Structure 1
Amino acid sequence: MNESGAIRFHYLLRAVILLLFALYIGHLVQQEALHYYVAPKLARWIRLCPVPLALMALSLGIQALFGKSSALCDCEHRLPGSMFRSSALYGLFLLPMLLGFLLPDRALGSAAAAKKGIALTYNLSEQESKENFTAANPYEAEFAELAARLHAEPVITVHPEIYSETFGAIDLYKKQFEGKEIAVTGFLYREGTSAGKASYAVSRFLVQCCTADATPFGILLNPAAQISLPADTWIEVRGKLEIVTHEGRELIGITPETLTPVPQPSTPYVYTSADSITAWEQLQNAGAVK
């Protein structure tokens, strides 16, 4: 059994850590920076976390300061026997918290994309039909329907709400989309090649839950394009879709006609859509109203 004084000390320390977590989440909410770390569906619940965390911290603090020694519980677990062990244990919680407060809140960029490996293709089974957008299996049915609707547009606008789904549909039917006009916004990703030449892509991070699972997706810019902008510059690219060869693979890419620097959007990441067809229709209706 641990002495009551030691238990009180650890109760207080844990209360402080819980309170710091509550303050950090509150800080992210106040700075409107929570979207840099978690997806919107998860963020709505994270916003509520400071309340239970603060209540738990208050409960531990009251027990540590005013609780009867007979009521204190160490749960039959031995507490760290030295200051070094205590520092190592609680440092696992305090160090990430300290980094969170000290480091700037910003979106992932080229450095993270290079480490994760940027995806320039969806690796779906390419369809050969040039007249009808048919699906080879039920999984690709939504891509096929979206592809047909996108192909009918004079200029394909890649909306953030269906970013990954749009490129999935285009990649699936790349031959049918060759020569189509497209407009897309993202950050400029620069990648060196073995030949010493640079290749470029316009990219965004796809987030499922949080930035830990963020996946960089991009579309290759025609290797012949001369780009003087630095990496991570947010750009709007307008041009034609072309099939290009990159590292021995045929990929869909863009031959830019205009490449314009733009401000980073308030929500830099993109997220999967549960129903890309409905989302596309809503976007079209919203555009018609404007």
Structure 2
Amino acid sequence: MKISSAFAHRTIRAAVLIAFVFFIVRISQSDALSYYVAPRMELWVKGLAFGLYVLAMHQLYLAVRDVLSNKKTAAITCTCSSHSHDQWKPSVIIMYAALIVPLVLAFFIPDAVLGSQMAAKKGLNLTPSGILLHSNSGDAAPNLIPNHKLQLDSGPSFPFNEYTRPYAKQAADMYNQPLISINDDIYIESLTSMDLYQEQFIGKKVQISGYVYRLDSMNKNQFAVGRFAMRCCVADSVPLAILVGTDTPEQWQNDMYVVVLGTIEKRNFDGKSVLAIDAKSIDTQKVPTNPYVYGNPYFGD
């Protein structure tokens, strides 16, 4: 391989790395980074951009050094005959294409929030407590059986085990509220607590805001209100929602951001027992700055 070929490869690598850096900088400056990663990952992504920039500068340095010194690189001086040094073989071209094509798409496709179409493809999670129990399914079965309970002075009890203790406390706190308000900072934990103790919350008043989602299996008077819950990045996001029943479903189109006020009841949906809201009022609301919700890092402390 000649110096010109080595220069071309290193220049391409540097260009690809710099393009990744520019993309991260662009979405950071436009406040679109939250569309891709959770807040706790943003610092890592920005640090990655710095690391990629250093690598890009190193590739440019090597490219210029080879041209100025007019010498072959150490890799080229290999004297073995067991393999080819043809650096433009198909596997290398495919490798470049695998990096360049996503970059081109990332720059030309507008940043967008995951919406109802993706929610329908992923499937709405109307029973979030199932995730809680499934995440501990590898432990011994007796650990999943409630062996304690939190008894309210004038109200129901909330059985719990070592895994569900914080959810029992959250459920008890929510039950004591005249109007249960599902806030963004504890959105996931609130819906999980309500689902875990469905019977206790029947008849309680609740207010929740979120995007309108629909599934083909819903009847004409139903839709779901919820948000995409993100753990680390957009790839692991899950549409977390609660079923809503209303007499005016045609007014509320998919992906509208609404606030629903109503009474909690229990319904059977797709063979599962799920909570639903018998809506008393539905209003549009300004879309939040951050469209996704995240696990509360202080929950259970």
Q: TM-score, normalised by structure 1?
A: 0.86
For residue 258 of structure 1, give the secondary structure of its aligned residue in structure 2: strand
SS of 2:203's equivalent? coil
Match of 2:269 in 1: 246
DSSP-derived class of the 1:251 partner: strand
1:42-121 matched pairs, under 5 angstroms: 42-67=41-66, 68=69, 69-73=71-75, 78-82=85-89, 86-121=92-127
| CA–CA separation in structure 2 for the residues paired with 1:59 and 1:268 | 38
AA in 1 matched with 2:10: Y
Deviation at 1:276, TM superposition (A): 2.2
Contact 2:226 2:241 in 1 (8 A): yes
User: Aligned residue for 2:10?
Assistant: 11
SS in 1 for 2:119: helix
- Call closer, same or farther: CA 1:143–1:75 in 2, change over 3 Å: farther
Q: Distance in 1 between matches of 2:259 and 2:283?
A: 5
TM norm structure 2: 0.83
The alpha-carbon deviation at position 50 of structure 1 amounts to 2.6
Aligned-residue identity in percent = 29
Counterpart selection for 1:172 from 187, 196, 203? 196
Shift of 1:184: 0.8
Task: Give the C-alpha shift of residue 79 in structure 1.
Answer: 4.7
Helix, strand or coil for the counterpart of 2:114? Answer: coil
The Cα shift of 1:3 comes to: 3.3
Q: Classify the secondary structure of the residue corresponding to 1:245.
A: strand
Residue of structure 2 in register with 1:138 after alignment:
162
Query: How many residues align structurally?
Result: 274
In structure 2, runs of 5+ residues without a counterpart are 79-83, 134-143
Q: For residues 204 and 117 of structure 1, do their structure 2 counterparts lie closer, same or farther at Cα, with a shift above 3 Å needed?
A: same
Displacement after TM superposition at 1:223 (Å): 6.5
Report the Cα offset of residue 106 of structure 1: 1.6
Counterpart of 1:271 in structure 2 is: 294
In the TM superposition, what is the alpha-carbon distance from 1:118 to its structure 2 partner?
Answer: 1.0
CA deviation after TM superposition for structure 1 residue 80, in Å: 4.0
Shift of 1:49: 2.7
Q: How far apart are 1:8 and its partner, in Å? A: 1.7
In structure 2, give the amino acid aligned to 1:16.
A
Unaligned runs of 5+ in 1: 279-290
Offset of residue 86 of structure 1: 4.8
Match of 2:282 in 1: 259
